[in-house]
Structure 1
Amino acid sequence: MGEGNTVDSSPSRRAVREQQRKKTIRKWAATAAAATILLSGGVAVANHLIEGESRGTSPSQQALPPECATTRDVTVETTPTMAQVLEKIPVDPEKCITLDVNIGESSGKVLSQAASGSPYTNLWIPDSSTRATLAMAEAKTELTSISDSLAQTVAVVVTAADTPHFNHWTDTLADGNAAKMGDPRQNSGAFAAFMSGIAEVSAGQSSPEKLAEGTGLRATTIGVDGEPPTSEDLLAQVEKGEIPAAVVTEDVFTRYRAEHGSESLKATAPGSSSAILDFPLYRTSTGTNSAIDDAAAQISDFMASDEGHQALSEAGLRPTGQEALKDGGALGSVTPLTPTDPEILERTWLSYSLQSAPLNALVILDASGSMLTPVEGTDKTRMDLTVDSALAGSQLFPARDSMGLWKFSRNLALPDGCISDYQKLVPVRGMEELTDGKTQRELLQEAGTSISGSIGSTDPTALHDTLLAGFRELKEHYEPGAANVVIMLTDGENYDEGSISQEELISTIQAEQDADEPVFILLIGISQDANMEALQTIASATGGEAYPVLSPTDVQVIFSEGLTQVAAEKAKEATQ
């Protein structure tokens, strides 16, 4: 990769591509948002489409000319790198407009406040038009576009040696040990890497399975045990030899290397290619405030000027068009990658958002007599294997998740002497939360393994009453921002003479379901004895899903993959 080469993306081609992409993305994003909200606690993905890692507001750092005794302030929301460039825009001595820059707020907040008519910022410069288009579609609002691109940057893989080497971005995403990255909802480098992988699959350069493997890995590992690392944190870890490689943007790498004298760090791009982050400019305020329009014009004019190009290069950003960084930057020539297939983009982003959302689940196990049926070829019963598999699945969930456990049959004798169709064995708590010196994982394991010994051979199944009680329990302990799910496992059907009917169950859940705080229902029918027709009727009518499991050992698959499969089906339905 030589120095002084360019990113090949002419404005005319960009305009055509952006128009086509925005049209297709808007078509599916609004409907996909509904599926995302259903499983992520009513919090739209737009609330997490963050394009900066730092947060804070800074009064104008621009030097004031003596002619400006008073100024007109215009607020701008942008990324940390672009903020450095904005500070170098000279204040016009005739207009005396200054820029107050806010850094790192979520796209969701920008769009929700713009839609309300009371935006906190007048102008918005996100890192990517793709991110902006997604957010606008989900917020069901449009912003006035002033510039398609003020600058450009690309994703790079930074190492302290020549290895590791990746041929494709999907390979990079799938190797969580070799290449670390931040959360794509917060981190520009990770977002560009995701878009690059999606573009490779769109172009047939890599397989959807490889992409799903990589994004699934990232969803279940990034930020699980704490705040996701920043790009600067990752580069420091590479330099210290703590991790092999980091995925960041070229501008962050260039600045870090210059500020720390880190000449040992090297940057490459798989296939010498990357998605392009294009830094569009939007007007978020309505009305006729001329100062906002003047400020937008000044920003656009400055970025296109020689002085602007110099400021962009000093910040590590590439001027829009066919210019690379003057010193060649980290990469020089890069082949641009564009996610051209909106269905792949939708499925990947929705799946990541769902997989990375915390889980707040209540697991309800059937403890009726039929669960004592021996499983052929083993020395265990259906209950033994179901508990083993379910608890093994629960051990896969990270510390951010919460889970509780009930069992149900009919007329159970509770420890306090009361009679109930269900017993609350372990309340919903965080997986690593301590109770009497034991973690929630340990308590779930202990309670689960004790169920078999308490089952009577003729105990019936109070499925309807228990499911309604579980639904109400999770509504009471709803966790915002999480996937709130009641997971019931049963090998039969409702067998309880005094219970509510199926129709009453469905109508009650429909009436009590809160669209802003939805509780999702996942029903798992174990063995051929399960009445899947009844389970599917309940699930379909309440917005849930039902899965047949012929072998109890398959329960773990449902635990680890079921929610993602549900989301994919709903996204598919929404785009048809």
Structure 2
Amino acid sequence: MRDRPLGDGRRTGVPPPRVLPYVRLTAHGSTGRATVMGRHSLPDGYGAGGVDPRTRARRRTVAIATALVLTVAAGTAAAVRGGLLSFGSSCQDHAVRLKIAASPDVAPALRAAADEARRKNITSDGHCLDIHVTARDAYQVTESLLSGRKSDIQAWVPDADLWVRRVTADARATQVTQAGNIASSPVGMAVVPTAAKSLGWPDKTYTWTELAGATLREDRPKLGTADPSRSATGLLALTRLTGATAKVKEGDTRTAAMAKALSQRTADSDSQVLETLPRDSSGTEQGDPKRNQALILSEQAAFTHNTSADSDLKLDLFYPKDGSPRLDYPFTLVDQPRLSTDESRAALRFMTLLEQPKGTRILQKHGFRIDDEDVSATVVTAAGGRSPQPYEEPAPEPASEKTLQESLGTWTITVQSARITTVVDISASMSEAVPGSSRSRMDVTKASLLQTLTTFTPDDEIGLWNFSAKLDGDKDYRVLVPTGRLGDRGGRDTQRDRLSAAFSALEPVRGGATGLYDTTLAAYKAATASYVKGKFNALVILTDGVNEDPGSISRSTLLTQLRKLADPRHPVPLIMIAVGPEAHRQEAERIAGATGGSGHQVDSPAQIHSVILKAIMEAGNQS
């Protein structure tokens, strides 16, 4: 006789299931490697498998040993300990309450899943799940976690794992542990119908650079985006754009020009950029130049807009043929060592609900992809996609952290015009060969500085000093090119031309020592005295050694003077880069830290370009 289900989901006549040993597994990166952990075991029913991220949107970063035991006999399935079934009298009496912060786009779906869990008395080890979801922009949660303050949330679902990586890279931040990815959404370009038709939608396909070129000219539809420093959608698209333009002649200059044009039509967040769309069916709104006819959007954002917009205000969606990067919605435990066993297990239990049929239906109903191998035509069509747009193409390889940082650094110095004085060490040790290369430290440093120079726009102000010891009489330094606007002309040459020539002419001084302390103080005095409001002001010093001038001020005097000069109201961060394997990073960090800046160490001068961009981005975000 078939077992009769009880009201709380239990079945009569079924012996208690065998309980397997609990284990705790956490991921390392995105490889799927796992390590057994000792404190919290996983909830019953928790299982996942590793999947290639390019072919499956919900790739799993955690390998799980399941404690779910299913016994099938005569067509009857056995119950499990914990998981969906409860053996307590009333799970509501002992509900596990969790607070989850989620990106605004995914928060409604998570709330719907949480409501479903309450209605169905879904349990974790006999405890009901009482999940409360708060919509918070990922950049705001990231900033809070980076502060290291105790968090009021137990789990976090940002729209992309780049936020999680940013937090985990900082040892001072609140600990986060990524458990898996619940959904995905490709990033493309959504266009109002009249503009889409002029661009040949849906039959004509474009690369990222072709799309940008088609929308950034004066006579074409205006393209808007969310701020890449606050939006994963904006940053992923910017990274694809900068990566593509970098491969062509004068790519860095074209990238800077493109970012500058795009920055003029940037909104603070993904939700705000949607508010820049025209409010009439013509898609033009003549007389309102702030309106955008094209937006960088995720498929899910376009889906949400289209399902709530009037028919003549819906968007058409272009999927770039060189690859649509994905938002990947990582489910992340926050400050996991502080979570109780019940909280940790309940959070992971809730994540597994999103993988089950009801959970996936909820996610798809809200416009998310569940599996890139089986793309929902309903989601694509509602989002404005249509063949032959390549919406089924696999996601490109995720951008590396270095690539993301460089793109964001480029954006920072492009959007906010910079005023930067660069000070370069020309002591004798700069003539030494770079390990594994026939080129000297100075040769590679010059090449890297010339590469960095192409990133700046004509509105940026850049200058150059060099230094050794007793380089100019009793002074250890010399001003080669006073800091000025790159587009300004003096005779036939622009400031950019003069700097390019000065960078190329840098040569080490034979027998020259390193007069670091006097130079640093003099350069910082000049930088703070010439502060320009409304620009990103900074001082960049590159050196391959410590101070070698016995007649200079002491380190303690230098630090004291730098702290007095530093003014939070007019910030001028010092970015000091220690060049070479023998360079002293701690010295660089200590000196730069006195101004609110940052110290860095590079083994090869070839790394200078990316380090400068990263340091400027970090300092720009703090100012």
Which of 380, 393, 409 is the matching residue for 1:334? 393
For 1:124 and 1:104, how far apart are their aligned partners in 2?
10
5+ residue gaps, structure 2, are 1-48, 62-89, 285-290, 386-390, 422-455, 462-518, 541-549, 576-587, 594-606, 617-623
**1:124 equivalent in alignment to 2:156:** yes
* Identity in percent: 14
For 2:350 and 2:268, how far apart are their aligned partners in 1?
33
Cα deviation code 1:463-519 (max 9, x no counterpart): 999866545657xx899x9733379xxxxxxxxxxxxx9934998554433599662
Structure 1 position 281, deviation (Å):
1.0
- Show the 5 A alignment for 1:403-418: none
Which residue of 2 is the match for residue 31 of structure 1? none
For 1:179 and 1:17, how far apart are their aligned partners in 2?
30
**1:283 equivalent in alignment to 2:337:** no
**1:162 equivalent in alignment to 2:194:** no
Which of 347, 358, 364 is the matching residue for 2:406? 347
For 1:347 and 1:395, how far apart are their aligned partners in 2?
20
Which of 203, 217, 240 is the matching residue for 2:258? 217
Match of 1:121, SS state, is coil
For 1:270 and 1:335, how far apart are their aligned partners in 2?
12
Q: Which has the higher helix share?
A: 1
Match of 2:197, SS state, is coil
Structure 1 position 223, deviation (Å):
6.3
- Show the 5 A alignment for 1:106-505: 106-107=138-139, 109-110=141-142, 113=145, 116=148, 118-138=150-170, 142-147=175-180, 149-159=181-191, 160=193, 161-164=196-199, 167-173=206-212, 175-177=215-217, 178-197=222-241, 200=244, 206-207=247-248, 209-210=250-251, 213-214=254-255, 217-218=258-259, 222=263, 227=268, 230-236=272-278, 240-241=283-284, 242-262=291-311, 265-271=315-321, 273-285=323-335, 286-329=337-380, 330=383, 331=385, 332-339=391-398, 343-357=402-416, 396=459, 469-471=525-527, 473=529, 483-485=536-538, 503-504=552-553
Task: Note if contact 2:230-2:268 (Cα within 8 Å) is conserved in structure 1.
Answer: no
Structure 1 position 86, deviation (Å):
0.7
Which residue of 2 is the match for residue 103 of structure 1? 135
Higher RCO structure (Cα 8 Å, ≥6 apart): 1
Match of 1:181, SS state, is strand
Task: Note if contact 2:176-2:334 (Cα within 8 Å) is conserved in structure 1.
Answer: yes
Task: Note if contact 2:54-2:397 (Cα within 8 Å) is conserved in structure 1.
Answer: no
Match of 1:134, SS state, is helix
Structure 1 position 271, deviation (Å):
0.9
Residues 328 and 220 (structure 1 numbering): CA distance in 2 closer, same or farther, change over 3 Å?
closer
Residues 323 and 567 (structure 1 numbering): CA distance in 2 closer, same or farther, change over 3 Å?
same
Q: Structure 2 length normalisation: TM-score?
A: 0.49
- Show the 5 A alignment for 1:66-77: 68=92, 71-77=95-101
Task: Note if contact 1:339-1:345 (Cα within 8 Å) is conserved in structure 2.
Answer: no
Match of 1:185, SS state, is coil
Residues 521 and 340 (structure 1 numbering): CA distance in 2 closer, same or farther, change over 3 Å?
closer
Cα deviation code 1:241-278 (max 9, x no counterpart): 24332111111111111101335531111217301111
One-letter amino acid of the counterpart of residue 300, structure 2: D
One-letter amino acid of the counterpart of residue 74, structure 1: L
**1:513 equivalent in alignment to 2:562:** yes
For 2:211 and 2:109, how far apart are their aligned partners in 1?
31
5+ residue gaps, structure 1, are 1-9, 23-65, 363-392, 402-462, 488-500, 523-538, 545-564
Cα deviation code 1:31-54 (max 9, x no counterpart): xxxxxxxxxxxxxxxxxxxxxxxx
Structure 1 position 124, deviation (Å):
1.1
**1:86 equivalent in alignment to 2:110:** yes
Structure 1 position 221, deviation (Å):
5.1
Structure 1 position 317, deviation (Å):
0.8
For 2:265 and 2:132, how far apart are their aligned partners in 1?
34
Structure 1 position 217, deviation (Å):
3.4
Residues 189 and 266 (structure 1 numbering): CA distance in 2 closer, same or farther, change over 3 Å?
same
For 2:310 and 2:158, how far apart are their aligned partners in 1?
29
Task: Note if contact 1:231-1:252 (Cα within 8 Å) is conserved in structure 2.
Answer: no
Task: Note if contact 2:419-2:535 (Cα within 8 Å) is conserved in structure 1.
Answer: yes
For 1:395 and 1:573, how far apart are their aligned partners in 2?
21
Which residue of 1 is the match for residue 53 of structure 2? 14
RMSD (CA atoms): 5.1
Task: Note if contact 2:405-2:614 (Cα within 8 Å) is conserved in structure 1.
Answer: no
Match of 1:116, SS state, is coil
